[in-house]
């Protein structure tokens, strides 16, 4: 990407994350036209929107009955987000970081204005972020309680839509949706209803609103109670006399009024009509006819006349009527009893589409007919020979629905993330499954001391060699690993072991496959993606999302919320942000100058989407974790959105593995610069995710670090006495330790690297004749030779952080960094870390400075025999007492014995006051 190594860019540190709440725009008065097709909950939301429109809140600020729109919901959301009282400052974080670039500050202000406009546009359609991120509740395929299945998808460029599949013998003319008949709305959303079929000999329900409790196995409706009897009982037992007005038709009152005014007995001339009194006079006349009796069942209403324009909030009831009304319980029990259960549904209806039925969506477009996999499909089976990919209707019966056993764990302190890929997690040369991963790998992750697992390649993708990054179906788990319930069990078992579950989410680009993905979904070139060159990645052959479109934002935000809601995911790593933040997709000469973050190549719409995504996730799910993977280190990644930042919790420092790789491949070990190493490790470690290597360092033809440092041929013998093997393993251990201990509260390790897996990862592709030889993990090496020793060391590092909270102790204080002796020393809280990178020279009495006088106890030593070391340090040297001799600018110092290529961790156990 750049003309110089990535680690030499010296990124600016994202300051600590402060939880904050964004300022929401006023609620809009227009409702989404499709919401009326769904459940009563959505219709109630429509009425709330209308009540908050300007026309219904026109009373002045001095009025006693003035109410703000949706006060209850606004108060509740304010309490959910800590720090919500922070003032909004679009350039607030620049003061913290010391950036004084005027052009960048103006860019942040312009971006904030565009963000407010985008919020207003989004809220005009979806009320708020919660509504705008819950599209999965409407779109896709859902069972309706009125014995039917509803399907909805977005295709603004199509002229005709229908569902085809096993349920209708792949007919394109049944269950169609065309304009004027359950067709599309003004925004291009298509709505299709699949009616359940009556069994032979059964009669349709008399009441159109008859509902069926399809999910639960038991319901009172299964007792065979007749609906007419229930309505009669409700009228007799619940309603008081006068509360229910029996009418043969809902138009009866309207017909009577029409007859009175325009019928043959009505006034024929204006003289006969007379003068119509004003509303107040007519109200008083009506009031005089009412009986003022406490026994009356009708409530008494009065109007407070303060000279203001009439408002529904000016209408109040008298206290007695109000208390009487509040004392009445709702007739919910009657309606619950009227609902029929699943047993009654099975006896009467045949499902329109059954569990595991295959289906696709059929479009007629200006360019011809198209068949596509629905964009909101939750389970997709890939291509088979001679067949197209298709969606699978996943609606298991109640007895087969997965039942969650464990809640989300609470992780205190730092994150120790175990990155993995399900398909290559087995030792056999095949694609492993969710079930195998749950049984074999999850216990190992827990035993290794990690507290979070990050899974890549979970979302459905057609090309297995893409490692899962060319996503085709964003709401579906990859079917090559198992079913949705298999993945739920994986997440549930991980939670039971106390492990958080994170997934890599790829919203920076999408697969260009037209038959199974989103490309040309409705026949047009600008449905989900930009048109022209901007809609295509310059080098990867993928499509780029159109982040300025409200419906695309609806899709992406709903996708995030779907994984958290449906699968109880604990967090996301946003993959390859540099691909979406710049129109050159990050493939340009990049020096890290501040003007490169605000020039014409920056995609402001992509930045706004990331802000909205973080605001939505942290507002609706306060414990969620978001990680930014950005090779350009955009300023403000982990700053609160109210202060001009993007709102991430952590950012992945990609410079660290690049730095180690550059040293290993290009610099003789005796010439390593300690100052350059520490500059990359600690130049910006606030909320920094560090790692020695992840999957990027061993995929696409590159070697893993173990393959570089440890000679594979030598390691196969398992001999730890060999001098070359000893030196190589010693170097790998100190690289791991210094990377871990300088992290900013999060550390990541790729699957197998904890025991120095000797082989790289290479997915099956044409270049290797689709071989699985390198697409697996050699777990049998865990108990052999040098791999066993390195795993023991890695496990003890994790245990040290679990018990001592090493990486949660605040910032580092580097006391000693000597390029000549190749020694590094720094403190972090009460801990002292000393590293000797010299491959040849040991030191018997090496003096390092410390701030605090006292006794320091050795708690970790890379040279111990259980880690494959020489064990040169004697037990009498495990406790060290400081002297008052100054060193490294400190008033106190220690004299330590340092073996070559070794590291030691000391803890201050006793403080001496002088």
Active-site residues, by number, are 629
Q: Which residues have C-beta within 8 Å of that of residue 340, sequence separation ≥ 6?
A: 210, 211, 212, 213, 219, 221, 222
Angle CA 342–483–442, to nearest 5: 120
Distance from C-alpha of 551 to C-alpha of 138, rounded to nearest angstrom: 13
The two structure tokens encoding residue 81: 């987000």
Beta strands in 545-703 (DSSP E): 571-574, 625-628, 650-652, 688-690
Backbone angles phi, psi at 766, to 5 degrees: -65, -30
Residue found by looking up tokens 């929401």 in the block: 24
In angstroms, what CA-CA distances link 523 with 157, 186, 370, 377, 428? 6, 18, 7, 19, 42
- For residues 406 and 533, the answer to whether their CB atoms sit within 8 Å is no
- As a residue count, the chain comes to 914
Q: Which residues have C-beta within 8 Å of that of residue 653, sequence separation ≥ 6?
A: 11, 684, 685, 688, 689, 690
Task: From 590, 589, 630, 595, select the one nearest 610 (Cα to Cα).
Answer: 630
In angstroms, what CA-CA distances link 196 with 192, 205, 373? 13, 12, 23
160-165 vs 176-177, strand pairing mode? antiparallel
The two structure tokens encoding residue 579: 């691909």
Backbone angles phi, psi at 693, to 5 degrees: -160, 150
The two structure tokens encoding residue 262: 């325009």
For 16-36, the DSSP string reads: PP----PPPPPPPS---GGGG
301-303 vs 212-213, strand pairing mode? unpaired
In angstroms, what CA-CA distances link 867 with 97, 448, 693, 718, 794? 41, 15, 20, 14, 9
Distance from C-alpha of 22 to C-alpha of 90, rounded to nearest angstrom: 11
Distance from C-alpha of 173 to C-alpha of 364, rounded to nearest angstrom: 11
Distance from C-alpha of 883 to C-alpha of 451, rounded to nearest angstrom: 39
Three-class DSSP category at 786 = helix
Which ranges constitute the DSSP H helices of 71-209?
71-80, 92-97, 102-126, 129-132
Task: From 69, 41, 72, 73, select the one nearest 56 (Cα to Cα).
Answer: 69
Task: From 154, 144, 158, select the one nearest 194 (Cα to Cα).
Answer: 144
Phi-psi region of 274 (alpha: psi -120 to 50; beta: other; left: phi over 0): left
The two structure tokens encoding residue 508: 């920076």
Beta bridge partners of 151: 141, 192
Backbone angles phi, psi at 574, to 5 degrees: -80, 115
- For residues 434 and 493, the answer to whether their CB atoms sit within 8 Å is no
Beta bridge partners of 228: none
Task: From 204, 170, 221, select the one nearest 349 (Cα to Cα).
Answer: 204
For 312-337, the DSSP string reads: GGGEEE-HHHHHHHHHSPPTHHHHHH
Q: Which residues have C-beta within 8 Å of that of residue 806, sequence separation ≥ 6?
A: 414, 741, 800, 828, 829, 831, 905
**Helix, strand, coil percentages, rounded to 5, for the chain:** 35, 20, 45
Distance from C-alpha of 262 to C-alpha of 816, rounded to nearest angstrom: 99
């Amino acid at each position: 990407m750049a003309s110089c190594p990535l680690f030499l860019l010296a990124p600016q540190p994202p300051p600590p994350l402060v939880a904050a709440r964004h300022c929401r725009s006023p609620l809009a008065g227009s409702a989404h036209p499709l919401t009326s097709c769904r459940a009563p909950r959505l219709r109630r939301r429509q009425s709330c929107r209308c009540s908050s429109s300007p026309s219904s809140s026109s009373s002045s600020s001095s009025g006693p009955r003035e109410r703000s729109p949706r006060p209850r919901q606004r108060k509740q959301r304010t309490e959910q987000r800590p720090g919500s009282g922070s003032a909004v400052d679009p350039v607030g974080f620049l003061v913290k970081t010391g950036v004084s670039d005027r052009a960048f500050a103006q860019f942040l202000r312009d971006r904030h204005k565009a963000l407010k406009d985008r919020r207003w546009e989004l809220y005009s359609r979806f009320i708020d972020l919660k509504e705008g991120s819950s599209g999965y509740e409407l779109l896709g395929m859902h069972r309706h309680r009125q014995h039917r299945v509803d399907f909805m998808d977005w295709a603004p460029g199509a002229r005709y839509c229908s569902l085809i599949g096993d349920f209708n013998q792949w007919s394109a003319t049944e269950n169609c949706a065309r304009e004027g008949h359950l067709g599309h709305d003004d925004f291009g959303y298509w709505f299709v209803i699949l009616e359940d079929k009556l069994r032979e000999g059964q009669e349709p329900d008399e009441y159109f609103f008859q509902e069926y409790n399809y999910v639960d196995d038991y319901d009172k409706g299964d007792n065979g109670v007749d609906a007419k009897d229930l309505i009669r009982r409700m009228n007799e037992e619940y309603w008081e006399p006068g509360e229910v007005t029996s009418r043969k038709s809902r138009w009866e009152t309207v017909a009577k009024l029409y007859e009175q005014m325009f019928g043959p007995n009505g006034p024929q001339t204006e003289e006969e009509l007379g003068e119509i009194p004003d509303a107040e006079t007519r109200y008083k006349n009506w009031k005089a006819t009412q009986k003022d009796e406490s026994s009356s069942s009708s409530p008494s209403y009065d109007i407070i006349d303060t000279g203001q324009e009439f408002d529904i909030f000016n209408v109040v009831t008298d206290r007695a009527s109000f208390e009487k009304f509040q004392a009445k319980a709702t007739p919910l029990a009657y309606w619950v009893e009227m609902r029929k259960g699943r047993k009654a549904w099975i006896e009467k209806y045949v499902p329109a589409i059954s569990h595991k039925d295959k289906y696709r969506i059929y479009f007629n477009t200006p360019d011809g007919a198209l068949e596509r996999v629905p964009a909101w499909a939750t389970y997709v089976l890939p291509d088979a020979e001679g067949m197209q990919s298709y969606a699978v209707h996943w609606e298991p019966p109640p007895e087969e629905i997965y039942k969650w056993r464990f809640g989300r764990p609470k992780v205190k302190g730092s994150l120790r993330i175990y990155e993995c890929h399900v398909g290559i997690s087995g030792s056999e040369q095949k694609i492993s499954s969710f079930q195998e991963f749950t049984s074999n790998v999850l216990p190992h992750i827990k035993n290794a001391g990690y507290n979070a697992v990050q899974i890549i390649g979970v979302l459905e993708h057609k090309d297995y060699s893409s490692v899962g990054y060319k996503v085709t179906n964003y709401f579906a788990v990859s079917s090559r690993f198992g079913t949705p319930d298999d993945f739920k069990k994986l997440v549930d078992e991980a939670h039971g072991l106390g492990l958080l579950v994170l997934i890599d989410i790829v919203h920076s680009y999408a697969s260009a496959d037209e038959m199974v993905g989103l490309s040309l979904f409705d026949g047009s070139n600008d449905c989900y993606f930009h048109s022209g060159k901007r809609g295509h990645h310059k080098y990867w052959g993928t499509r780029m999302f159109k982040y300025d479109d409200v419906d695309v934002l609806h899709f992406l935000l709903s996708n995030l919320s779907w994984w958290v809601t449906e699968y109880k995911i604990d967090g996301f790593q946003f993959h390859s942000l540099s691909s979406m933040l710049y129109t050159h997709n990050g493939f340009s000469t990049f020096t890290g100058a501040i003007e490169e973050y605000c020039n014409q190549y920056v995609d402001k719409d992509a930045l706004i989407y990331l802000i909205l995504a973080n605001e939505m996730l942290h507002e609706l799910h306060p414990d969620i974790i978001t990680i930014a993977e950005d090779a350009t280190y955009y300023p403000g990644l982990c700053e609160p959105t109210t202060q001009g930042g993007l709102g991430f919790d952590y950012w992945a420092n990609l410079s660290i593995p690049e730095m180690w790789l550059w040293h290993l491949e290009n610099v003789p070990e005796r010439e390593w610069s300690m100052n350059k190493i520490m500059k990359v490790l600690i130049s910006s470690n606030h909320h920094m995710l560090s790692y020695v290597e992840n999957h990027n360092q061993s995929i696409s033809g590159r070697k893993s670090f173990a393959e570089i440092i440890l000679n594979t041929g030598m390691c196969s013998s398992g001999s730890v006495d060999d001098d070359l093997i000893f030196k190589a393993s010693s170097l790998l251990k100190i690289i791991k330790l210094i990377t871990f201990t300088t992290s900013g509260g999060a550390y990541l390790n790729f699957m197998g690297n904890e025991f120095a897996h000797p082989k790289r990862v290479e997915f099956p592709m044409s270049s290797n004749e689709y071989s699985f030889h390198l697409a697996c993990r050699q777990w049998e090496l865990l108990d052999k030779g040098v791999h066993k020793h390195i795993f023991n060391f890695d496990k003890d590092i994790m245990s040290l952080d679990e018990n001592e909270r090493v990486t949660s102790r605040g910032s580092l204080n580097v006391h000693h960094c000597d390029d000549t002796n190749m020694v590094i020393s720094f403190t972090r809280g009460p801990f002292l870390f000393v590293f000797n990178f010299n491959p040849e020279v040991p030191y018997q009495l090496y003096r390092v400075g410390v701030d605090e006088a006292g006794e320091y106890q050795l708690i970790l030593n890379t040279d111990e025999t259980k880690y494959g070391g020489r064990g040169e340090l004697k037990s009498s040297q495990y406790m060290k007492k400081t002297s008052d001799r100054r060193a490294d600018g400190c008033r106190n110092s220690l004299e330590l014995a340092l073996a070559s290529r070794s590291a030691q961790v000391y803890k201050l156990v006793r403080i001496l006051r002088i």
